[in-house]
Structure 1
């Protein structure tokens, strides 16, 4: 065989190998990825791990963002609901680590209005189970959220709120993640004796609709309703704690009105369905199949009373 033929054979082989490598590129959005390929897009992290203010504020190149089809394949479309309204944030891979029972995927969602981080829990086979807000910074907001994950996989979420020039209130909520995806609140430490409140990710969003507002049942149970992008839907955030903190549940998303005083949320990533019934100053909720978002021994159900809005002072 002549040298020219040998050279042509080698070049053809290199070309085919190049095409083959490109077809296996994990970030290729033109084909479905396996969960193993998806996890390869994330830096392998070692514990302890911290989601810091610097991580949230850092400007990351757009080229490093997850492609929309890749993110949609593995992450719920309600992941950033309640934080981003009219803008679509870019999703960046932060870190990945795993145990025998759970795989932890950390992402950052960044837009003009805010930068947030989430811990997303998956089964070893790649089924999405649950997520937890692990960080948030917002221009002009006095509240910042960061997270530390220790060597025992305890998730410590710290909320710092600047109350005055010389005083910042800090609250640390420690969570444990379980094989079924349940995230349970283990302990809360606070430097603010009078706080005792919940962090509401949709608190500052518009509440002009007649049913929008905050509904409570005791200090640790909140159903927050805010205006949706259209008149046919509304945003919600639910957090409750029962049995003296032994059972906890949390869920947010976008629900649709099914009647003048009723609404429904259907989770696209599980069998979870929430029913809302609004009456004079109250909302009642009930669920079907929402075990991924709560403890085993408690459910999203009950009646909540609407809090009165503080009267605005006349100018």
Structure 2
């Protein structure tokens, strides 16, 4: 009887060891097999849309940042969120090509950006590569998604509508096992979508001393508008560098720290920017980490000339 009891106890322990982990918090002891199995199995095709990123995820599914970066390099996240930024991470799905690579779908979010990644592991659970398949908060696409189909081809798609015209961009990739990386095999059309930059504070009052538009060109500008307080201004900045490869955008409130300098610093946010006003120009300098609002290789900086406000035309004289 005692031997039977011991055997049952050992069996229960064995089964519990093989069961799926209920949590991947940083306090848990997690092996690579636990990490992979935490992702729910998915049937192909798997489609992750921008609307998927907007849905609230249960905190019970949250993957600890330290756990995640033990198996997937933090450089994957840093390319989108900036170095040192720790977005919340959630599992979206898992699938495997028979006898070959394992694919994990990951959701990463913070206050400003949301990204879905596709990570690829070898059949013996070694990390190979990862790529973003859909993003929110980076551009103004009206619809976007990432797709892994039954042929294990990866499609990224985004479209934008403007002036009654539909524009789209579709890229198709495969995982190249020889190079241990994703390879682009098709793109259409060849032209990139050029989204219209929408200024959310454009129509607000601009009567105070430093209010106005400081413009390099239509894709690099700072707008400053009045608030109810004399020492505060609303601002919106958008910039694009390196032929649009590096972008940044931020809206907030700045407070005058001296007669010609204002500072942006939101509570609980490491991002800080100085705005210096001199005559008919504005100089911007990032002094705190604003990686959540820009790409990793560029910063909120530079000088912008103030755009003259066109004077209203006098009414035509009656003949």
Q: TM-score, with normalisation over the residues of structure 1?
A: 0.55
1:85-234, aligned counterparts within 5 Å? 85=82, 88-99=86-97, 100-138=99-137, 141-142=140-141, 144-164=143-163, 166-179=164-177, 180-190=179-189, 195-196=191-192, 214-215=241-242, 224=246
Cα distance in 2, alignment partners of residues 24 and 171 from structure 1: 42
CA gap 1:89/1:234 in 2 versus in 1, 3 angstroms:
closer
CA gap 1:92/1:47 in 2 versus in 1, 3 angstroms:
same
1:21 matched to 2:16? The reply is yes
The unaligned stretches of length 5 or more in structure 2 are 196-218, 223-238, 250-269, 272-285, 310-319
Task: Tell whether the 8 Å contact from 1:225 to 1:234 is kept in structure 2 after alignment.
Answer: no
Deviation at 1:224, TM superposition (A): 4.2
Cα distance in 2, alignment partners of residues 50 and 173 from structure 1: 14
Cα distance in 2, alignment partners of residues 198 and 73 from structure 1: 37
Task: Tell whether the 8 Å contact from 2:80 to 2:296 is kept in structure 1 after alignment.
Answer: no
Large movers: runs of 4+ above 4 Å: 16-20, 22-25, 28-32, 204-207, 222-235, 252-255, 309-312
Question: Could you list the per-position Cα deviations for residues 85-106 of structure 1 after superposition, in whole angstroms to 9, with x for gaps in the alignment?
Answer: 5863211101111223322111
Cα distance in 2, alignment partners of residues 130 and 42 from structure 1: 17
CA gap 1:43/1:169 in 2 versus in 1, 3 angstroms:
same
Question: SS of the residue aligned with 2:40?
Answer: coil
Task: Tell whether the 8 Å contact from 1:136 to 1:144 is kept in structure 2 after alignment.
Answer: no
2:50 matched to which residue of 1?
53
Deviation at 1:174, TM superposition (A): 0.9
1:80 matched to which residue of 2?
77
Deviation at 1:84, TM superposition (A): 2.9
Q: How many residues align?
A: 223
Task: Tell whether the 8 Å contact from 1:107 to 1:117 is kept in structure 2 after alignment.
Answer: yes
CA gap 1:205/1:24 in 2 versus in 1, 3 angstroms:
farther
Task: Tell whether the 8 Å contact from 1:226 to 1:234 is kept in structure 2 after alignment.
Answer: no
Task: Tell whether the 8 Å contact from 1:174 to 1:187 is kept in structure 2 after alignment.
Answer: yes
Cα distance in 2, alignment partners of residues 62 and 105 from structure 1: 19
Aligned-residue RMSD, C-alpha: 4.5
CA gap 1:108/1:205 in 2 versus in 1, 3 angstroms:
farther
Q: TM-score, with normalisation over the residues of structure 2?
A: 0.54
Which structure would you say has the larger Rg?
A: 2
The unaligned stretches of length 5 or more in structure 1 are 217-221, 236-251, 256-308
Cα distance in 2, alignment partners of residues 98 and 206 from structure 1: 46
Cα distance in 2, alignment partners of residues 106 and 73 from structure 1: 17
Cα distance in 1, alignment partners of residues 43 and 54 from structure 2: 22
1:33 matched to which residue of 2?
30
1:67 matched to 2:64? The reply is yes
CA gap 1:48/1:206 in 2 versus in 1, 3 angstroms:
farther
CA gap 1:158/1:178 in 2 versus in 1, 3 angstroms:
same
